[in-house]
């Protein structure tokens, strides 16, 4: 496509003679810049939210990790002597692995954590009861830990 000089210069003349149009164009340009500024503002806002989220998530993550290490400690000092690595040094087949739990623990399939809690609270045969040794909260934590480990395959 070729643009004839004469036409473009006459266009320019028409354009510059319409100050109104020029003003409109400037307004449009300003609006565009404003929109950009808005975009930048929005970006800053999003960044700020993201940063805030991180600072909110961090303590939650830290709490979760300390919960996990608390449960690990309870397990290591109360259960590992017989159940090291999720095994059972007294009755080899009665391990804390998922299959054994499903096989030997009553109601494990319908309510796994509750079933583990019952075993910890009351003990069974050679396993001592922990009702008077651990708090309810500690029993819950270590039961959840055993469940999680069983799901992960120890
Ligand atoms: C003195 C050793 C000993 C300690 C300490 C011990 N257990 Fe046990 N645990 C056993 C024995 C033995 C069995 C099998 C009981 C049975 O059915 O005859 C068992 C079974 C279990 C079972 C059922 C698993 C299965 O396959 O039948 C769970 C769950 C369990 N123990 C969790 C724990 C937890 C959690 C702790 C710590 C709070 C703990 N045990 C501490 C010896 C122990």
Distance in angstroms (rounded) separating the CA atoms of residues 31 and 38: 10
Do residues 109 and 138 both lie within one domain?
yes
| Structural domain span for residue 105 | 79-154
Residues 51 and 21 in one domain: yes
Check if 73 has its Cβ closer than 6 Å to any atom of ligand 1: no
Token output for 134? 């651990």
In whole angstroms, give the CA distance from residue 120 to residue 105: 11
Average pLDDT over residues 86-99: 98
CB 148 within 8 A of CB 86: no
Same domain, 110 and 136: yes
Sign of the Cα torsion 59, 60, 61, 64 reads positive
Mean pLDDT for the chain? 84
Tell me which of 44, 68, 92 is where a domain ends.
68
**CB-based contacts of 145: which residues, under 8 Å, 6+ apart?**
68, 71, 72, 74, 75
How much is the pLDDT for 42? 78
Question: How far is residue 135's CA from residue 71's CA, in Å, rounded to a whole number?
Answer: 12
57-88 per-position pLDDT tens digit: 666 777 777 778 899 999 999 999 999 999 99
Domain contains 63: yes
Q: Residue 3 Cα, ligand 1 centroid: separation in angstroms?
A: 91
The answer to whether residue 129 is domain-embedded is: yes
Structure tokens at 11: 């266009």
Query: How large a percentage of the chain has pLDDT more than 90?
Result: 55
> Looking at the structure, do residues 46 and 90 belong to the same domain, yes or no?
no
Residue 2 has pLDDT above 50, yes or no: no
Residues 152 and 127 in one domain: yes
Whether residues 39 and 98 fall in one domain: no
Q: How many domains does the chain have?
A: 2
Q: What is the CATH number of the domain that holds 120?
A: 1.10.760.10
Which pLDDT tens digit goes with each residue over 98-137?
A: 999 999 999 999 999 999 999 999 999 999 999 999 999 9
Ligand 1 binding pocket mutation candidate from 70, 107, 119, 154 (most atoms within 8 A of CB): 119
With a 6 Å cutoff on the Cβ, whether 154 touches ligand 1 is no
- The pLDDT of residue 32 is 73
pLDDT, greater one: 117 or 32: 117
* Beta carbon of 120 within 6 Å of any ligand 1 atom: yes
pLDDT, residue 8, reads: 54
């Amino acid at each position: 496509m070729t643009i004839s000089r004469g036409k473009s210069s006459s266009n320019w003349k028409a354009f510059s003679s319409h100050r109104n149009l020029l003003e409109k164009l400037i307004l449009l340009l300003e609006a565009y810049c404003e929109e950009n500024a808005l975009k930048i503002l929005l970006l800053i806002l999003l960044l700020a939210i993201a940063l805030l989220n991180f600072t909110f998530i961090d303590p939650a993550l830290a709490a979760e990790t300390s919960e996990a290490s608390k449960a690990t400690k309870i397990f290591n000092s109360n259960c590992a002597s017989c159940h090291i690595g999720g095994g059972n040094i007294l009755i080899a087949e009665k391990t804390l692995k998922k299959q054994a739990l499903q096989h030997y623990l009553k109601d494990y399939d319908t309510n796994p954590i509750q079933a583990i809690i019952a075993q910890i609270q009351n003990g069974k045969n050679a396993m001592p009861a922990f009702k008077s040794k651990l708090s309810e909260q500690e029993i819950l934590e270590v039961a959840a830990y055993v469940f999680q480990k069983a799901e992960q395959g120890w």
